[in-house]
Amino acid sequence: MLTLLNTHDLFHPCWWFGAIRLAKPDSFWAGYFYDLRKLQRAQARYAPRRPVPSPPA
């Protein structure tokens, strides 16, 4: 029974989403493993966003 649960946890979809997702551009993983094209994609994805304007008073 324990082996069945461990196998299920290994192939659970949540793990795959985390493994496939782009790393943040300043992380060790991105700096060490990404080529220039993939690093540019990560920088574009995690670019600073414009702040949401506050409603008028």
Tens-digit pLDDT profile for residues 1-19: 445 556 666 666 666 666 6
CB 46 within 8 A of CB 25: yes
Nearest alpha-carbon partner for 11 in 23, 21, 22, 19: 19
Phi-psi sector, 41: left (phi>0), alpha (psi -120 to 50), beta: alpha
> Does residue 4 form part of some domain?
no
Total domain count for the chain? 1
Predicted pLDDT of residue 53: 76
> Which whole number is the average pLDDT over 34-57?
84
Contact 26, 43 (CB under 8 A): no
Q: Which domain holds residue 27?
A: 23-47
Tokens of 22: 């782009």
Domain assignment present for residue 52? The answer is no
43, part of any domain? yes
